[in-house]
Structure 1
């Protein structure tokens, strides 16, 4: 079938991101550049630079994670109450203050205060931006027919691009002799730019929320919503699986190479895969399979990644099992994340979207906290036992996801010419 140029241009114009969606996407990119310019070097700074004991380094890093993931639900609730603009701006201000404080912190108490402030800033910023992106993607889908998952894939790819470039920025600053302090100040500078951009461009009230009389304070629409809780549990199995990049993968790499020096290259491989393949993969899946199917398939691919480790050949190709795991985990992630985020607006009321977006991360973070302790006990078991047990986790999530509403395919805009 030949598509007329005029129809192609019309379809492209309808599917192009709105200025507001572009702002949110660039925000996600800048957020990760600033964040990952600092985070990869924090543990080394605490241990080598400040002389903290290993257990204390772990405690500090754990507090940062808890103050971020665990409090996403707070940021989501505040977004529903006050709108995204003040929550995003407050998150930027706190992140700037936290990075500046961390650059100067020299004692255990000041370091803990700085990292908790940095984590809480993200707990405000991220749910506001993510829920607003989901809402804008749904509106864009209704107006243009562009599948929401396709829009959310652009958002995810921008975040991964930032996660890839951020460590390079931090490494450059360290190489130039600026040290950890320079990386922190560079991260603060990035967030000053994000703050200025949102203060100028983010609408004061991009949406209107009508509060129905008689609603209780307890948000039953979210926490008593069985399909949403099923989504949270299924998504939790993915996050627990993703966490194995920091637990099981280093063990495997050290087993086959004698060191963990190849970890950085495997992480770069994952980020480059997302940057290069996220958009075409999501464009394909959004037009051909339902969101629930994409979520189930993504979890199944993640499970296959674990199962492949004891099956892939070792020997001269020692890193092949680890690389196979990273590739399949990343492919599964690219399928399931846009699908999961795109399902949230269909499962909860619009006026609770911020809370639901935050709850998705907080519930999953709690599951990871509990599940990581359990999976950590398996690290000393034989490889086939370890990787088979880990493969069962996302497989269980895929089975859970089958209980979700199937949903339908998004309407393909006329003139996009999928054939």
Structure 2
């Protein structure tokens, strides 16, 4: 039985979808970056338990993307997006009102599940809207994904600013503010998203399971997942490098600002360049840049850091190369999904892509996280730890050369 993505009765505005991503990221980054501080300072949890809770939150989002995409294909994007907002609001309320471990863990997981519901549905709607725009001779689908990324990055900058302004009032107030942001998003989307027509048949495994029947797409998912693993190292490995170089954790702020500035200023031009060059050439280059970001740190990791501004160079190189790789990979890679899907079950395909990334992040961090303990102090072992991190995106770069060969001459 075929389950096609439910088309809206009227066109969905890509600007509405990009604006939604802006609001979603403001609400997300106003709360989640401060969660670990709350768990440590207020609930007095151990570092290992904090890491487990943060990991569960991440996996509950990325790991559930496949289900969220399948539900969007079955019931229509609008209802799943609205449900996702409601679930995230309930998660934030649990974080705001809970004063024990159980409601906090449940709230953290619900924030992830909410994102798993609305994110693949939003992306699938954007793919359809971008296709219509491209057919009309307007902005291409890849360029819409690039614009979408810029709006998301603006939210990434504004969210922590909102959280910082409220941090002095306690984490509960921050969580309530995040819930308020998603209430606003819920109301706007309820009135502005076109209605979708549900399907009479029951939800079956077949629609999303078909995403695994295309060997080339499965290979693409596996290779793509190293992007999510690599970019996740901004949260896991970058603080390790700051410790080795004797930098303060306050340096994280300017480094994340550097990434945001690069994306806001360069994403659209790079997306146009990538479109002209083509996915078969750009994706290997993008993954090679991810690998190079870790290699750049390994070149310095064996030596004591200087006492001047130069000690920040390895971290700045890592952030710059990771961000450049991301800007090349994401719009072009997500633009390929409709070609794999044949414009059917788009939500499930985008969901499967994110779910595979979530699994890779969980396993990769577990298997290689111990290596980073060796990178806390200057040594040869520190360099080797960074080279291990570089191996996965390097393998993906080589794999993409083969996987994307059919798209070599695609315009």
Same fold by TM-score greater than 0.5:
yes
1:386 has 2:379 as partner:
no
**Structure 2 matches for 1:5-404, cutoff 5 A?**
20-144=13-137, 146-174=139-167, 177-205=168-196, 217=206, 219-286=208-275, 288-311=276-299, 315=306, 316=308, 317-379=310-372, 380=374, 382-404=381-403
Contact 2:281 / 2:408 at 8 angstroms: preserved in 1? no
C-alpha offsets along residues 127-155 of structure 1, whole Å, 9 cap, x if unaligned? 11112112221222122153321110000
Task: Specify the SS of the correspondent of 2:371.
Answer: coil
Question: In structure 2, how many angstroms separate the alpha carbons of the residues matched to 1:159 and 1:58?
Answer: 25
Q: 1:31 to 1:94 in 2, by over 3 A?
A: same
Q: For residue 401 of structure 1, report the CA deviation from its aligned partner.
A: 0.9
Contact 1:146 / 1:410 at 8 angstroms: preserved in 2? no
Deviates more, 1:118-127 or 1:243-252: 243-252
In structure 2, list runs of 5 or more residues that go unmatched: 1-10, 376-380
Question: In structure 2, how many angstroms separate the alpha carbons of the residues matched to 1:216 and 1:57?
Answer: 34
In structure 1, list runs of 5 or more residues that go unmatched: 1-17, 412-419
Q: For residue 46 of structure 1, report the CA deviation from its aligned partner.
A: 1.2
Contact 2:298 / 2:384 at 8 angstroms: preserved in 1? no
Q: For residue 258 of structure 1, report the CA deviation from its aligned partner.
A: 5.0
Question: In structure 2, how many angstroms separate the alpha carbons of the residues matched to 1:342 and 1:196?
Answer: 29
C-alpha offsets along residues 371-399 of structure 1, whole Å, 9 cap, x if unaligned? 11221122216232122222222110011
Task: Specify the SS of the correspondent of 1:50.
Answer: coil
C-alpha offsets along residues 341-392 of structure 1, whole Å, 9 cap, x if unaligned? 1111100132311011111010111112111122112221623212222222
Question: In structure 1, how many angstroms separate the alpha carbons of the residues matched to 2:401 and 2:343?
Answer: 24
Q: For residue 221 of structure 1, report the CA deviation from its aligned partner.
A: 3.1
Contact 1:147 / 1:410 at 8 angstroms: preserved in 2? no
Question: In structure 2, how many angstroms separate the alpha carbons of the residues matched to 1:400 and 1:208?
Answer: 39
Query: TM-score normalized by structure 1?
Result: 0.87
- Count of residue correspondences: 387
Contact 1:79 / 1:87 at 8 angstroms: preserved in 2? yes
Q: For residue 216 of structure 1, report the CA deviation from its aligned partner.
A: 7.9
Contact 1:221 / 1:348 at 8 angstroms: preserved in 2? no
Task: Specify the SS of the correspondent of 1:350.
Answer: coil
Question: In structure 1, how many angstroms separate the alpha carbons of the residues matched to 2:207 and 2:127?
Answer: 23
Deviates more, 1:66-75 or 1:370-379: 370-379
Contact 2:270 / 2:327 at 8 angstroms: preserved in 1? yes
Contact 2:93 / 2:175 at 8 angstroms: preserved in 1? yes
What's the RMSD between the two structures over aligned residues?
A: 2.2
Question: In structure 2, how many angstroms separate the alpha carbons of the residues matched to 1:97 and 1:398?
Answer: 40
Contact 1:141 / 1:148 at 8 angstroms: preserved in 2? yes
Query: TM-score normalized by structure 2?
Result: 0.89
Q: 1:65 to 1:284 in 2, by over 3 A?
A: same
Question: In structure 2, how many angstroms separate the alpha carbons of the residues matched to 1:66 and 1:277?
Answer: 30
